[in-house]
Amino acid sequence: MHTEDWPSTAEEALAVQERLRDRVELADDCPELPPTVTGLDVAYDDNDGIAAAVVTLETAGLTVVEQRTHRAKAVFPYEPGLFAFRELPPLLAALDRLERTPDVLVCDGHGLAHPRRFGLACHVGVLTGLPAFGVGKTRLVGTHAAPASARGAAEPLVDGGEVVGAVVRTQDGVKPVYVSAGHRIDLAHACRLTLALTPRYRLPETTRQADRLSRTALR
């Protein structure tokens, strides 16, 4: 799907989600420890402008390999559960500017942990064909028990009787994050990579770097 075909109404967007979600691949073919990880994030200004940032890090040392940004105006209204339609056009443009194809995409948001099981991580995975998963700061759907306080503790995130993600404690005593598979990676693998990307802080280094870059791009 190209941006010129992008939905402009909630009804059109819902139809796209229904059509594309059957293309999500849940079989895991992502390397256990991929050579690189690419974080995606966006920042907004007060005039509906968006700065998208993608940052590729070496997985082993979490050093920046490559980074790109793209600024644009939002082409879709603010609608809960449809954020991907605001964020994906500039994110896809930024991804297109990378010289190296990402090994796996780490989204600041959700994958299967979405009302229609098609969050940002699923959407970008299907459109790019790349492995992708989401690490959300807050819960969008489902219920869960509180994970133990130690780093690495996790509990299933359940919605409608289905496990759609995991609630993972990335640092001792800090608020957990919400991990969900998006495309071509399973939940357990996504949780392992999330912990590999959070050696010091609550959020993955991919998200931290992409967030910082997107905010700088707005200036």
Q: Tell me the CATH number at 174.
A: 3.30.2170.10
State the pLDDT confidence band at 4, using cuts at 50, 70 and 90. Answer: very low
Whole-angstrom CA distances from 152 to 104, 148, 166 are 21, 9, 11
Instruction: Quote the tokens at residue 99.
Output: 């010289």
The whole-number pLDDT of residue 74 equals: 86
Q: Is 103 annotated as a binding residue?
A: no
- Rounded to two decimals, the pTM is 0.94
Number of domains forming the structure of the chain: 1
**For residues 116 and 10, is the Cβ–Cβ distance under 8 A?**
no
Q: Does the annotation list 22 as a binding residue? A: no
Check: CB of residue 18 under 8 Å from CB of residue 43. no
List for the chain the helix, strand, coil content (%; round to 5): 30, 25, 45
| pLDDT tens digits, one per residue of 136-176 | 999 999 999 999 999 999 999 999 999 999 999 999 999 99
**Range list of β-strands (E), the chain:** 36-44, 49-58, 64-73, 105-107, 132-136, 154-159, 162-168, 177-183
Between helices 10-20 and 120-128, what is the axis angle to 10°?
Answer: 60
**Sign of the torsion formed by the C-alpha atoms of 111, 114, 120 and 123:** positive
Structural domain boundaries, residue 77: 3-218
The candidate with the shortest Cα–Cα distance to 189, out of 59, 65, 21, is: 59
pLDDT, averaged across the chain = 94
Q: What is the pLDDT of residues 64-114, one digit of tens each?
A: 999 999 999 888 888 888 989 999 999 999 999 999 999 999 999 999 999
User: 105: which strand partners?
Assistant: 38, 132
Query: Exposed (0-12), middle (13-18) or buried (19+): which is 174, by Cβ within 10 Å?
Result: middle
